[in-house]
Amino acid sequence: MQLTDNQRVTQVSDNQQVTTMSNLHKIDQSNIISLITNMDEKNLNGGAFTIRSKRTGKDYTFKISHKPFNGFNYLHTKVETEYMNFRYMGYYREGQIMRRDKQTKQLKVVDTPASTAISWFIRMIKAGNFDILRNGVDIFHIGKCLKCGKPLTDSTSIEYGIGPICRNK
């Protein structure tokens, strides 16, 4: 199914998908770089963004945040499971999404299609492979600042996906 820029598919069950219209705004990946690479900002509550494969049309909506723990800043990821309902996946480490098993306390690689997609996306940004990103995926934000999550109201902020206060930090 081919989608327009402001449509996305929400998985309702294993066999059913619903196409929804939302406030998706296409942005250039350069506008999301600082969200991924600037690990100096503490407690960064990133806004939600969607990446859509140009090859398959499959999309995932994520929230990324930086949280300090024991002197390190971790890049945490959540994936949308229902419209604007996000589930914690894990944190980015060594090119993969990792999560500690609650029962065994062992650190494990999260192996899902969504974790594979966001891991690839983060690796491409960290490696500076922007041509691969530009040719492989479209990136959208949902009308909220990618750094703080507040609603965007002016056209420049909507174009960049980042509000004026966060742009000037």
Average pLDDT of the segment spanning 25-31? 77
In terms of pLDDT, which residue wins out, 163 or 18? 163
pLDDT per position as a tens digit, 76-99: 999 999 887 899 999 999 899 999
In this predicted structure, what is the pLDDT of residue 160? 84
Q: What is the DSSP letter of 2?
A: -
Is the pLDDT confidence value at 6 over 60? Answer: no
Is the pLDDT confidence value at 9 over 70? Answer: no
Is the pLDDT confidence value at 169 over 90? Answer: no
In this predicted structure, what is the pLDDT of residue 40? 54
Is the pLDDT confidence value at 41 over 70? Answer: no
pLDDT per position as a tens digit, 105-144: 999 999 999 999 999 999 998 888 989 998 999 988 888 8
In this predicted structure, what is the pLDDT of residue 44? 62
pLDDT per position as a tens digit, 55-82: 999 999 998 888 778 878 788 999 999 8
Structure tokens given for 19:
């196409």
In sequence order, the 6+-apart residues with CB closer than 8 A to the CB of 134 are 28, 29
Structure tokens given for 77:
């990821």
Q: What is the 3-state secondary structure (H, E, C) of 115-146?
A: HHHHHHHHHHHHHCCHHHHHHHEEEEECCECC
Structure tokens given for 98:
């990792």
